Amino acid sequence: MPRRFFGRKFFIVSVVTIVAVCMIVFGNPAFFSPVRYGVAMVLAPFQKITFLFSEKILSGVRLLSSIGNLKEENERLERENAALRAEKAALQDVKNENKQLRDQIQLLPRETFSLIAAEVIAPDPLGQGNWMTINRGTRHGVTTGAPVIVSGRILMGRVHEVFAASARVMLTTHPESVVNATVSDTGAQGIVRGHYGLGLTFDMALQTDSIPVGSTVVTSHIGDALPQGLSLGIVQEVHPSEDRLFQQATLTPSNGGMRQRFVFVIATGEEKK
């Protein structure tokens, strides 16, 4: 009896598993693109509806849970508001000075991205914060490799796959994601890598460089794939690499994980004049 049970079922599961493993290891991702494209086309309209529904539920839950904290939150926001007003006043001076200097050397403003607004219709299905699907695709001018940002200068990730009316974005926290980066305060150069379910790591920084805890890591000028100065994360902890040749830092991602509803795709190769 056990032999019979093992026989046919075990044969089926073995064959399916071997074929699947071969597909994972040796398969050409482009071969399955039509399948991905077809499924994405079918699901995209429904995903948008269910995502909006989930947002409504979430906002209801948040409202209920925040009622108790409203007073405390209000006081904190008032303090923060006062600090920001002071900071704004200080920055205004710097801005004017910056503008004058830019005018003098005839430099174009830095924040001149051509942006495509997009709505998130599906975060990472397995909840690891590695992917998101947006409702803009080839029809709207989205191209593979285009940077995706939020709140002006925070990098979410890059477009990995584009369909007609949707696109899949690989977030900076994905293990495949590697971005040239620099510590904004000290100018220490390195790369930012994603870690599966663990956030971001600033790596390959020289031992002699300074990486203060709490400083912001931004995209660097090295490589032309991404605009310079997009925020990636805040330094949480600094430690030497396993081989002791470099420094590594654990970062808290600036993008707030997959809880974004609206993002912007930077149209690559286009800059507003």
Residues that bind other proteins (CB under 8 A): 5, 8-10, 12-13, 16-17, 19-25, 27, 29, 31-32, 35-36, 38-40, 42-43, 46-48, 50-51, 53-55, 57-58, 121-131, 133, 160-161, 168, 170, 175-176, 178, 193, 195-198, 257-258
Mapped onto helix, strand or coil, the DSSP state of residue 236 is strand
Alpha carbon distance 81, 79 (integer Å): 5
Alpha carbon distance 66, 46 (integer Å): 30
Q: Please, which residues have CB within 8 angstroms of residue 47's CB and are 6 or more apart in sequence? A: 121, 122, 133
Instruction: Answer for the pair 227, 144: CB distance below 8 angstroms, yes or no.
Output: no
Tell me whether residue 40 or residue 266 sits nearer to other proteins (CB atom). 40
Tell me whether residue 31 or residue 105 sits nearer to other proteins (CB atom). 31
Tell me whether residue 33 or residue 112 sits nearer to other proteins (CB atom). 33
As measured in angstroms, the least distance from the Cβ of 259 to other proteins is 8
Tell me whether residue 7 or residue 212 sits nearer to other proteins (CB atom). 7
Instruction: Answer for the pair 182, 209: CB distance below 8 angstroms, yes or no.
Output: no
Place of tokens 């006043």: 89
As measured in angstroms, the least distance from the Cβ of 58 to other proteins is 6
Tell me whether residue 103 or residue 243 sits nearer to other proteins (CB atom). 243
* Short-list 241, 250, 234, 175, CA closest to 206: 241
Alpha carbon distance 145, 77 (integer Å): 37
As measured in angstroms, the least distance from the Cβ of 64 to other proteins is 15
Helical residues (DSSP H) of the chain, grouped into ranges: 2-26, 33-66, 70-105
Tell me whether residue 145 or residue 187 sits nearer to other proteins (CB atom). 145
As measured in angstroms, the least distance from the Cβ of 51 to other proteins is 4
As measured in angstroms, the least distance from the Cβ of 48 to other proteins is 7
Alpha carbon distance 193, 186 (integer Å): 20
As measured in angstroms, the least distance from the Cβ of 96 to other proteins is 42
CA angle 231, 76, 217 (to 5 degrees): 15
